[in-house]
């Protein structure tokens, strides 16, 4: 049988206490069979990722002309932070294309209690469209843009300062023609045309 | 499976809508000045440019067309192209 030795500090005057929880169940705490220092939550060397949630959209979404900042249906993820001081690290992959020169102006959004805020927007610059992502639009030549589909990626560190359910999503716009999610503009039913997937992944990071 | 965005863009070029998924159930109509079309109205639409897609899929690949030109000359190439155009008329 191995032994457990409790050793006091060589210096110092404080008292370290091991406190039992309020429970009626017998518990066993097993120490790791390695040499080192046991870490505790809030100290250094302890993992800071408290939870990870992902939302995936596997079907398509299209918005018509002159639709501004419409939510992409089904491309959302909800997380309830355990602490108001936590940060939320957001990863978003948006598979899209747009016939508009501004590329659909995709925006990351955060919704708390039905109040939606656009996040990570570019600085205002006159009448120019603003986005959280680079747009997926191209009108350079012929109708080639109708055959394209890009992955637009975003990583954003948010500080929602809440313990309420928080939903992240994406909005897109269309000025004169269409914006397409998870498909190309031309979408003929042959193997020449691709359907794809968009997702949002969020991590709660302890402060 | 029909691409509903084709009749939507063709019949209602100024209307505001979103389509989530591929079916009529995913159509959200945002225009107040234009009535939402029925599903049948969209399904009945005939694409006037459908022949273009059919021809594009049926034309020989460019390397094959070049080979046809080299070996058979312009007449052979023209005959091959004409056959596709006649199979899928405007």
Residues A67-96: pLDDT tens digits?
899 999 999 999 999 999 999 999 999 999
Q: Residue A143 pLDDT more than 70?
A: no
pLDDT number for residue A138: 60
Would an 8 Å CB–CB cutoff place A67 in contact with chain B?
Answer: yes
- CB-based contact A59 B20, cutoff 8 Å: yes
pLDDT exceeds cutoff 90 at A207: no
Mean pLDDT of A166-182: 91
For A107, the token pair is: 């925006």
Q: Which residues contact A39 (CB under 8 A, 6 or more apart)?
A: A45, A46
CA dihedral A175, A181, A186, A192 (to 10 degrees): 160
How far is A134 from A132, CA to CA, in rounded Å? Answer: 7
Tell me what the pLDDT averaged over chain B comes to. Answer: 92
Place of tokens 């459908």: B50
**Residue A142: per-residue pLDDT:** 45
Q: What is the pLDDT of residue A87?
A: 96
| Strands A67-79 vs B27-29: parallel, antiparallel or unpaired | unpaired
Give A109 to chain B, closest Cα distance, Å: 18
User: What is the predicted pLDDT for the residue at A99?
Assistant: 76
Inspect the interface and report whether the beta carbons of A64 and B8 lie closer than 8 Å: yes
B25 near A CB under 8 A: no
B19 touches chain A (CB under 8 A): yes
Distance from CA of B71 to the nearest CA of A (A): 29
- Interface contact B27, partner A, CB < 8 A: no
Letter string b/e over residues A85-110, b meaning 16 or more CB atoms within 10 A of that residue's CB: ebbbbbbbbbbbbbbbebbbbbbbbb
Asked whether A169 and A56 are in contact (CB, 8 A), the reply is no
Q: How far apart are CA B71 and CA B2, in angstroms?
A: 40
* Facing residue for A70 by CB, picked from B13, B14, B18: B18
Per the listing, tokens 């929880």 go with A21
Average pLDDT of chain A, as a whole number: 88
pLDDT in tens, A18-58: 899 999 999 998 888 989 888 776 666 677 899 999 999 99
- Confidence (pTM): 0.75
Instruction: Say yes or no for a CB contact (<8 Å) between B18 and A73.
Output: yes
Reported in sequence order, the residue ranges of A140-197 that DSSP labels E, i.e. its strands, are 150-158, 166-174, 179-181
């Amino acid at each position: 049988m191995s032994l457990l030795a409790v050793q006091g500090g060589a210096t110092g005057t404080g008292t370290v206490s091991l406190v039992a929880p309020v429970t009626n169940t017998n518990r066993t705490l097993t120490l790791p069979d390695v040499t080192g220092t046991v870490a505790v939550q809030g100290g250094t060397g302890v993992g800071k990722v408290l939870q990870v949630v992902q939302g995936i959209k596997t079907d398509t979404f299209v918005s018509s002309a002159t639709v501004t900042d419409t939510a992409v249906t089904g491309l959302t993820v909800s997380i309830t932070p355990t602490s108001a001081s936590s940060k939320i690290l957001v990863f978003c992959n948006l598979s899209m294309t747009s016939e508009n020169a501004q590329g659909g102006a995709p925006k990351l959004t955060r919704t708390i209690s039905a109040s939606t805020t656009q996040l990570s927007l570019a600085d205002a610059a006159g009448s120019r469209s603003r986005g959280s992502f680079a747009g997926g639009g191209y009108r350079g030549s012929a109708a080639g843009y109708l055959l394209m589909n890009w992955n637009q990626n975003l990583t954003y560190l948010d500080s929602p300062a809440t313990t309420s359910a928080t939903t992240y999503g994406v909005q897109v716009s269309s000025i004169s023609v269409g914006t397409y999610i998870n498909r190309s503009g031309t979408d003929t039913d042959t193997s020449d045309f691709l359907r794809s997937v968009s997702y949002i992944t969020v991590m709660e990071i302890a402060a | 499976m029909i691409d509903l965005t084709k009749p939507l863009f063709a019949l209602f070029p100024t209307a505001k809508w979103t389509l989530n998924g591929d079916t009529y159930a995913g159509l959200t109509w945002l225009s107040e000045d234009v009535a939402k079309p029925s599903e049948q109205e969209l399904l009945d639409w005939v694409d006037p440019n459908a022949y273009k897609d059919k021809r594009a899929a049926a034309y020989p690949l460019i390397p094959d067309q070049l080979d046809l030109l080299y070996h058979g000359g312009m007449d052979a190439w023209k005959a091959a192209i004409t056959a596709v155009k006649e199979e899928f008329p405007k």
